Amino acid sequence: MIFVRSILCEASAVTDFGIRAATHSDSEFLVDMLMDAVNWLPTRHWSRDQILANPALAHYVTGWMRRDDFGLVAVDPAHEPVGAAWFRYLTAADPGYGYVSDDVPELTIGVVQTWRGRGVGRALLRAALAAARERGVRTVSLSVERANFASRLYAAEGFRTVESFENSDTMVAEIGT
């Protein structure tokens, strides 16, 4: 487990959280985080059932954890999960929104609302990219709706847009050494 101390300048508060590898038993929490990623717009309220019934969304979590799935979970001092970033290999036959190629895993990330803006998302993203690099992954991808501030976070952490759709961008990061 990596421990992180994030200093929240505005409130002069200190926030501690840990980051650990995701496991089989995180599947329900990953569904929670997929819900947060889908519902990032305050006006969007997709239910858990709606998301799990939609194959284009459910395939980011269905059957977690498969042999080639990997990810990280951020936890609070009581070890309760507060965020997750995970990769899944999707295929041309069942592509994700950020699909680039069968050998490029796609990232999903979410932080629980009360923990946002404290550095958890950036720390998770960096840890996820490091975990991918350690596994020998050279390129990773994601999809982000352009209006989501998260696209700026991704760009700041090395992602670049490779394809644009009406409201969303597919971004990749080359992480090979």
Contacts to ligand COA by CB under 6 A: 36-37, 40, 109-111, 116-122, 144, 148-150, 153
Closest to ligand COA by CB, 96 or 119: 119
CA pair distance 163, 54, nearest whole angstrom: 23
Which residue's Cβ has the minimum distance to ligand COA? 121
Q: What is the closest distance, in whole angstroms, from the C-beta atom of residue 66 to ligand COA in the complex?
A: 21
Q: CB of residue 30 vs ligand COA: minimum separation in angstroms?
A: 13
Strand partners, 106: 88, 141
Q: Select 93 or 104, whichever has its Cβ closest to ligand COA.
A: 104
Q: Which is nearer to ligand COA, 139 or 148 (CB)?
A: 148
- Terminal Cα distance for the chain, rounded: 24
Least separation, in Å, of the C-beta of 157 and ligand COA? 9
Question: Phi and psi (nearest 5°) for 140?
Answer: -130, 160
d(CA 59, CA 49): 13
Q: How far is the CB of 119 from ligand COA (least distance, A)?
A: 5
List alpha helices for 39-119, DSSP H: 48-52, 55-58
What is the rounded distance in angstroms from the CA atom of residue 162 to the CA atom of residue 100? 9
Minimum Å gap between C-beta 85 and ligand COA is 8
d(CA 79, CA 19): 10
4/137 with CB nearer ligand COA: 4
